[in-house]
Amino acid sequence: MKDFSTRDALEELSDSKEVADSAIIRMIYAYYANYVHWSGPEFSLGFDQMRDIYEQSQELLGSFQSFCQFAVKTTAPNQKPNQREIVAEFVSTLPPQKQKLWHSIYPVRYQLRMLGDIGATLLMISDIVSRNIASSDAQEEFFGVDLGTGTGILLAGQEVLARRHGFRTRILHGIEMDDAVASKTREFCHKLWYVIHQWDTTQAKTWSALPYKPLTCITNENIPAANETMDREPFIQNMWILWNTRRDLIQPHTAFVPDELEIVKNPATTETEVRYICSPKNWFYPDDLRDDVGAFDRAGLGSLYKYLIPDRIKLWGTKVPLKLVSPMGAERMWVFGYQRSFLSRF
């Protein structure tokens, strides 16, 4: 197989008649390898190199997670684990070559675990690029924003969407709160012409600082993992502040990815099912949820979000249980012929 880069993979996706899963997976792996390798999006790598970078970095992240869990378990009850000491001790166990790789991935370890979940990333990217923005609605400028951008991979999906629909100008902005992550992603995405900001997605001043242009696409992957509570990620807060500050820029054809999230009250904390459906129709903050959040707060019970968990997400027009978004192991996703057939189960 011929060496290729992130830029090559984006060109292939943008120019092909139909978007194949295999092409998306190639782009994800190229993006991952170029991002970790510090080589930039235009640096071509071979299949084996990409696979090695992916497998070695994911193995390191998994080993570090296990090392941390062990360190926490063996820490005295009256002591707090020292993160710096844990990291230093872990690095001391690594050979020099892996230490170099570790220093590249450590600042973005959480984001790489997400990007490395190839099944979930495939579904998000394929949903983005499949959106139908009618040519009569398509203006000369495509303005896309990714909230909590992390590595910037969803901006790559937005670029493909814009190019496939003939937008002459693409304005792509990613917002990331973490300074170290924003810095690394800004350096990588500079050559892709994506603008990365180190800002807070839940603050009105963030939207006030962005270009005042009609919004074409909004991606928001700030969703907790299955069985984690909604206070872990600001998905709803992101969309609510957008609505309150830039509702005049939302167009009939504006694409939201995902465009629906169902959340439920943790079954362990209630005897009856409590379900909320968050979508563009209610600006991702339905009245019943807003009322319950207010009532919870007034009662002095703290944040209701600590008792809510994400249940289903809408991708490709299908409501998918969040825990099944990535049902295949990442190592088995390294097969370019993979198809999205498991969606038919839902």
Region 50-60: mean pLDDT is 92
Closest CA to 239 of 219, 213, 216, 214: 219
The separation between CA 109 and the C-alpha centre of its own chain, rounded to angstroms, equals: 13
pLDDT of residue 123: 87
User: Token pair of 133, please?
Assistant: 């923005």
Under the banding of pLDDT at 50, 70 and 90, the label for residue 270 is confident
Assess whether pLDDT exceeds 60 at residue 339: no
Tell me if the pTM is above 0.75: yes
Assess whether pLDDT exceeds 60 at residue 107: yes
Q: Which residues contact 311 (CB under 8 A, 6 or more apart)?
A: 262, 263, 264, 275, 321, 322
Please, are residues 189 and 160 in contact by the beta-carbon 8 Å criterion? no
In degrees rounded to 5, what are phi and psi of residue 142? -105, 120
Assess whether pLDDT exceeds 80 at residue 338: no
The fraction of the chain above a pLDDT of 90, given in percent, is: 68
pLDDT of residue 133: 81
- Torsional sign, CA 34, 8, 114, 186: positive
Calpha distance 111→116 (Å, rounded): 8
User: Domain spanning 118-327+336-345 has what CATH number?
Assistant: 3.40.50.150
Please, are residues 239 and 220 in contact by the beta-carbon 8 Å criterion? yes
Region 135-162: mean pLDDT is 88
Question: Which strands make up the sheet holding 318-321, listed edge to edge?
Answer: 275-278, 261-265, 308-315, 318-321
pLDDT of residue 187: 95
pLDDT of residue 139: 59
pLDDT of residue 331: 36
User: What's the pLDDT tens digit per position in 322-331?
Assistant: 877 754 433 3
Please, are residues 147 and 245 in contact by the beta-carbon 8 Å criterion? no
Region 103-110: mean pLDDT is 91
Please, are residues 320 and 343 in contact by the beta-carbon 8 Å criterion? yes
Please, are residues 147 and 218 in contact by the beta-carbon 8 Å criterion? yes
Return the number of other C-beta atoms located less than 10 Å from residue 129's C-beta.
24
User: Token pair of 247, please?
Assistant: 């509702």
pLDDT of residue 345: 34
pLDDT of residue 134: 61
Helix (H, G, I), strand (E, B) or coil at 133: coil
Sequence ranges of the chain with CATH classification 3.40.50.150: 118-327+336-345
Amino acid identity for residue 192 in this structure: L
